[in-house]
Structure 1
Amino acid sequence: MRQLKYLLVILGLVLPELAFAHGPTRQKVTLNTIVAAEPAAVWEVIGNFQDMSWHPAVFSSIGEGGNDIDATRVLTLGAEGGPTISEILYKYDAAKMTYSYRITDVLVEVLPVTNYSSHLTVKARPEGGSTVEWRGAFYRGYPNNDPPPELSDEAAIAAVSGVYQGGLDALVERFGAP
């Protein structure tokens, strides 16, 4: 009994400290948009993992492997010589009009995230047109407690949301809203 009391006292002292030492939590962002075009037309534009020219932030996209699992691409942002993001494809299903990829290399000054994965999907709407869903999960750019503001959870969420919204807005501009 005495050992149990001793153990409970130790746990009572240690467990609260562990709660404050946990580091970052995984963040998630999901954005959707509705476009007037049918899913096949939208997929024709966004379904090629190697070609992200439809996104206004992407200056160029080069890669290897087509749409096969483990295909890679490097996105150059903004202009020639701009910052880059390296990515790898880990799921691809043309019949379901969806693919999933991970970032393998990006400077946190470019996109303040780590351990980032994302999914892009096109779905038919009963009323006609399509819903495009872009969702991702990631950790903030600073792995320890007390991150600087530019590498915080809020900064990571805002940056990823901005990337997704920019791409989705470009699709609405291209295909129109219903």
Structure 2
Amino acid sequence: MRYFGHFLLTFLVMLPSLALAHGPTRQKLALSIDVAAAPEAVWAVIGNFQDMSWHPAVSSTTGEGGNALDATRVLTLKAAGGPTISEVLYKYDAAKMSYSYRITEVDVEVLPVTNYSGHLTVTQNAGGGSHIEWKGAFYRGYPNNDPPANLNDEAALAAVGAVYKAGLDALEKKFGK
């Protein structure tokens, strides 16, 4: 019993420092928009994993595998220097008009995230148009404690939010409200 008491006391003394040693928390973000076009028309534009020309930040998309699982794509961005983001498709359902993908390679200076996975879905809107949802889960760009401001949770959320908003705004412009 004496050893248990010693163990318990040691554990309780260390408990506050264990809480401080906690690493980053997985962030989640979901944005959506309703557009006037039918879901099939929207899916015809965004449903091809190999074509992300609908997004205003993307200058070109190359890839292999079409919409099959493990298909890959490389997005070349319009930003200075033409940075790239490499992604892999891990779930695709044309009937449900949705797909899921992971980023396999990105410079955190381009997008300050790690372990990113995203999901795009188009559904019928009660008003006759479409509901488009883009959601993702990811960690900040700096995996250790005390991240610099450009690689912290807020920077990651802001950057992913800006990507989603730009894409959804472009779709709203294309398909109407």
TM-score range normalised by the length of the shorter chain? over 0.9
Q: 1:80 offset after TM fit, Å? A: 8.6
Residue aligning to 1:16: 16
**1:1-178 equivalent positions in 2, closer than 5 A:** 1-78=1-78, 82-177=82-177
Q: Determine the C-alpha separation between the residues in 2 that align with 1:149 and 1:79.
A: 21
Instruction: Indicate the RMSD between aligned Cα atoms, in angstroms.
Output: 1.0
Q: Tell me, which stretches of 5 or more residues in structure 1 are unaligned?
A: none
Is the alpha carbon distance of 1:28 and 1:79 closer, same or farther for their aligned partners in structure 2, counting shifts above 3 Å? closer
Q: Determine the C-alpha separation between the residues in 2 that align with 1:151 and 1:81.
A: 20
Q: Determine the C-alpha separation between the residues in 2 that align with 1:126 and 1:59.
A: 34
Query: What's the TM-score, normalizing by structure 2?
Result: 0.98
Q: Tell me, which stretches of 5 or more residues in structure 2 are unaligned?
A: none
1:85 partner SS? strand
| Amino acid paired to 1:15 | L
Q: Determine the C-alpha separation between the residues in 1 that align with 2:67 and 2:81.
A: 25
Q: Determine the C-alpha separation between the residues in 1 that align with 2:122 and 2:114.
A: 26
Q: Determine the C-alpha separation between the residues in 2 that align with 1:165 and 1:154.
A: 16
Q: Determine the C-alpha separation between the residues in 2 that align with 1:15 and 1:54.
A: 50
Q: Determine the C-alpha separation between the residues in 2 that align with 1:21 and 1:150.
A: 21
* 1:11-68 alpha-carbon deviations (Å, 9 max, x no partner): 1122211111111000000000000000000000000000000000000000000000
Q: 1:76 offset after TM fit, Å? A: 0.2
Moved over 4 A (4+): none
The answer to whether the Cα contact below 8 Å between 1:75 and 1:86 also exists between their aligned partners in 2 is yes
1:114 partner SS? strand
Question: Identity of counterpart residues, as a percentage?
Answer: 70
| Amino acid paired to 1:119 | H
Query: What's the TM-score, normalizing by structure 1?
Result: 0.97
124-133 vs 84-93, greater mean Cα deviation: 124-133
| Amino acid paired to 1:83 | P
The answer to whether the Cα contact below 8 Å between 1:59 and 1:80 also exists between their aligned partners in 2 is no
1:134 partner SS? strand
